[in-house]
Structure 1
Amino acid sequence: MPIPVVPIASAVLKYGPLAAAALATVAYARAKPRAVNQTADDLMDDVSDGMEFTRAPDGHQVNGTGRYRRAVRMPNGTGVELDMSLLGRVRLRRI
């Protein structure tokens, strides 16, 4: 018996953002306040805009960085600056 994909997809598109917002609100409410790691925060500030990948000379390690910055203005004049940065590393080693 085939699975009705269209009704399931429409329900996911209809209620998915609401469920994601609810989960984010619950996670934010349960988060415990902690001190910010200033070293990590400074490293994130040094990341350049866009995506960048570098490979080590020996070819065993690939590092990737990315940053996305935008200012979003609401119709009533209030605004929010969105600044997302990402640091990643993949290292391959023969064992």
Structure 2
Amino acid sequence: MPLPLVPIAAFALRTGAVAGAVWLVRRSLVAGRTDQRAEDALDDMSEGLALHRPADRAVDGARQTNVASRFRRTLRWGDKGVEIDAALLGRLKIRKV
């Protein structure tokens, strides 16, 4: 019985494409660092979503919008559990040049 090469070749092409994409993304990553000031700011955030546009940042046609969000939950299964604490800070600055 002949070996069906078309399904094997299609699988090999898909696997190679995924491996190539992962390799490209991994190659472009740089080593990060932990900033204690940012860690403290994330720990001090209240739970929920906040969006604001500070008036003191609108200078010379520049606008700034800040977003902060925190989600904190504890999931339990029997006597064991997992705490999920996700925090997000974001800033979008738009300036006319």
Amino acid at match of 1:73: R
Give secondary structure in 1 for the equivalent of 2:38. Answer: helix
TM-score in terms of structure 1 length: 0.58
Structure 2 Cα separation of the partners of residues 35 and 48 of structure 1: 24
Distance 1:74 1:51, change over 3 A: same
Structure 1 Cα separation of the partners of residues 42 and 75 of structure 2: 21
State the match for 1:72 in structure 2.
75
Distance 1:35 1:64, change over 3 A: closer
The alignment-based identity, stated in percent, is 37
For structure 1, the residue ranges without an aligned partner over 5 or more in a row are 1-31
Distance 1:35 1:55, change over 3 A: closer
Structure 2 Cα separation of the partners of residues 69 and 45 of structure 1: 11
How many residue pairs match? The answer is 64
Please tell me whether Structure 1 or Structure 2 has the larger radius of gyration of its CA atoms: 2
State the match for 1:25 in structure 2.
none
- Deviations along 1:13-64, one digit per CA (max 9) or x if unpaired, are xxxxxxxxxxxxxxxxxxx8x8743221101011111000010212700000
